Structure 1
Amino acid sequence: MRFLIIIPAHNEEDHLSFTLDSLQQQNCKDFKVVVVNDGSTDRTAEVIRKYMDHDPRFETVNLQKSAHQPGSKVVNAFKNGLQTQNIDDFDVICKFDADIILPENYLKTIEKAFQDNPEYGLVGGLLYVEKEGNWGYEGNSNKHHVRGPMKAYRKECFIQMGGLRETLGWDNIDSILLENLGWKEIVLPGLQVKLIKVKGSDYTVRESEYYGRYFYFLGLNRLLAYIASSKEAMKSKSVSFFFQIVKSYEACRTKKLELKISKEEQKTINNQRWKALKKKWLRM
C-alpha cells in the first residue's frame, strides 16, 4: 500500500525534524510526504528544504499566514496539501502533526491492519507525552479514538466520508461519519506515538469559549450541547463553567455560524451521541 502523508506545519522549527526523521526511519518506504508550511515566520521552511534536497519523497506547499483557529486552520492547510496530489496514486491518506515521533514500524503496522481487515477505515496508535523524564499515555481521550496528530485513512473511506471538515471538532466528526458508513475506527495500543508539544498551547480561545464553539460546530442540538456542557463543568467542579460554555454555544446559534456538515450528517452525529449516552446510562 502506498501512503500519502500530509503534515501542516506552523512555526515548527524545533519539532519538525523529529517527525521527518521518524518517517525516514520507517520500515515501510513507499510513501510521499507533503509538508504544508502554513505561514511560518521561523526556520520551518529551511528544515523542510534539508529533507527535500536529499529525499524525493518529501515535498512542500507554502501558504500565506492565516489566523490560528482551532480545527479550521489545520484542516485548511491539510486540504491545500491534498490538492497538489493525485489521490488515485495512493491507498492510505494520512494527516500527521509536525511535532510527533513515530515508532519505526508505524506505517508497516498500519498497512498490515488495513490489508488484513477490509472493514477498517481509520487506524492509528496512542499518544504519549513526556512527564518528568518518562513517556506516559497522554490520557486526554478514550483509547478507542484515533487522535488528530496521527490519522491514517483508507482512501476509499476518506472519499466516502467527504474528506476532512474545515471546522472545530473535525477529528470527532470524521469518526462518527465513517462509522455511519459502515467503516471501523481502530486504535492499535502497541503503536506508541510521542507527542513533543502540548496540544492547545498556542490557541488564543478561552477554554469555556472553546467548548461552546466545539459543541456548536460538532452539530449538537441544544439538549445534547447542554448535557455535554454539564459534563465538562462537573470535571472542572464549577457551576459557572457550565454557564460560560452554554453562553458560547448560544452565541454561535444566535449568529447562525455556518456548519461544515450537512443536515443529514448533523442528524447522524446527534443520533450517535444519543446512542452513546443511552448505552452509558444503561450500564450505570
Structure 2
Amino acid sequence: MRFLIIIPAHNEEENLPFTLDSLQQQSFKDFKTVVVNDGSTDRTQEVIRKYTENDSRFETVELQKSDHQPGSKVVNAFKNGLKTQNSDEFDVICKFDADIILPANYLETVEYAFKNNPEYGLVGGLLYVEKEESWVYEGNSNKHHVRGPVKAYRKECFIQIGGLRETLGWDNIDSILLENLGWKEVVFHELHVKLIKVKGADYTIRPADYYGRYFYFLGLNRFLAYIASSKEAAKSRSVSFFFKIIKAYEACKTARLELKISKEEQKAINDKRWKILKKKWLKI
C-alpha cells in the first residue's frame, strides 16, 4: 500500500524537524509527504526546504496567511495539499500534525492493519505529552478515538465520508460518518505518538465559546447540546460555564451559521450521540 501524508504547518520551525525526521526513520518507506506551509512568519519554509531538496518523498505547498480558527484553518490547509496530488496513486491518506514524533513502526503497523482488515476505515495511535520529564497519555479523548494529529484513512473510506470538513469538530464528524457507513475506527494503544505542543495553545477563542460553537458545528440538536454542555460544566465545577456555553451555542443557531454537513449526516451524528447517551446514562 502507498501512503499520502499531508501535514499543515504554521510557525513550526522548532517542532517540524522532529516530525519529518520521524517520518524519514520509518521502517515502512513507500510514502509521499506534502508539507503545507500555511502562512508561516518564522523559518518554517527553510526547515521544509532541507527535506524537499534531499528527499524526493517530500514536497511543499505555500499558502498565504489565514486566520487561526479551530478546525477550519487546518482542514483548509490539508485540502490545499491534497489537491496537488493524484489520489489514484495512493491507498492511504494521512492527516498528521507538524508537532508530533512517530514511533519508527507507525506506518508499518498502519499498513499491516489495513491490508489484513478490510473493514478498517480509520486507524491511529495514542498521543502522549511531556510532563515532569516523562511522557504521559494526553487524555483529551477516549482511547477508542483517533485524534486529529494522527489520522490515517483508507482511501475508499475517506472518499465515502466526503473527506474532511472545514469546521470545528471535523475530527469527530469523520469518525461518526464512517461508522455510519459500516467502516471501523481503530486505535492501536501500543503506538505511542509524542505530541510536542499542547493543543489549542494558539487559539484565541474562549473555552465556553469554543464548546458552544463546537456543539453547534457538530450538528447537535438543542437537547443533546445542552446535555453535552452540562457535562463540560460539571468537569469545570461551574454552573456559569454551562450558561456561557449555551449562550455561544444559541448565538450560532440564531445567526444560522452554515453547517458543513448535510441534513442526513446531521441526523446520523445526533442518532449516534443519542445512542451513546442511552447506553451510558440510561442503561438502554
TM-score by length of 2: 0.99
- How many angstroms does 1:261 deviate by? 0.2
Taking the TM superposition and a 5 Å limit, the aligned residue runs for 1:208-223 are 208-223=208-223
Number of the residue aligned with 1:59: 59
Shift of 1:281: 1.9
Shift of 1:75: 0.1
Deviation at 1:282, TM superposition (A): 3.9
Please give the alpha-carbon distance, in whole angstroms, between the structure 2 residues aligned to 1:57 and 1:92: 15
State the partner residue of 1:68.
Answer: 68
**Structure 1 position 116, deviation (Å):** 0.9
1:60-209 map, 5 Å: 60-209=60-209
Distance 1:158 1:77 in 2: 17
1:236 paired with 2:225, answer: no
Distance in 2, Cα, partners of 1:141 & 1:281: 18
* Partner SS, residue 51 of structure 2: helix
What SS does the aligned partner of 1:148 have? coil
Work out the CA distance in 2 between the residues paired with 1:207 and 1:282. 28
Structure 2 Cα separation of the partners of residues 51 and 146 of structure 1: 27
Q: Which whole-Å CA distance do the structure 1 matches of 2:98 and 2:76 have between them?
A: 15
What SS does structure 2 have at the residue aligned with 1:37?
strand
Per-residue Cα deviation, 1:117-176 (whole angstroms, up to 9, x for no partner)? 000000000000000100010111000000000000000000000000000000000000
Quote the Cα distance in structure 2 between the aligned partners of 1:236 and 1:113: 38
Partner SS for 1:193? strand
Instruction: Give 3-state SS (helix, strand or coil) of 1:166's partner.
Output: coil
**Would you identify which runs of 4 or more consecutive aligned residues in structure 1 move more than 4 Å?**
none
Q: Distance in 2 between matches of 1:134 and 1:15?
A: 18
1:19 is aligned to 19
Q: Aligned AA for 2:230?
A: S
Give RMSD over aligned pairs.
0.7
Q: TM-score, normalization: structure 1?
A: 0.99
Instruction: State the aligned residue count.
Output: 284
Give me the whole-angstrom Cα distance separating, in 2, the residues matched to 1:66 and 1:135.
32
Q: CA deviation at 1:283?
A: 4.0
| Cα distance in 1 for residues equivalent to 2:125 and 2:57 | 23
**Structure 1 residue ranges without an equivalent (≥5):** none
1:217 counterpart letter in structure 2: F
Aligned to 2:26, what secondary structure does the other structure show?
Answer: coil
CA offsets per residue over residues 204-242 of structure 1, 9 Å max, x none? 000000000000000000010000000000000000000
For residues 104 and 256 of structure 1, the distance between their equivalents in structure 2, rounded to whole angstroms, comes to 46
Give SS of 1:264's match: helix
Identity fraction in percent:
82
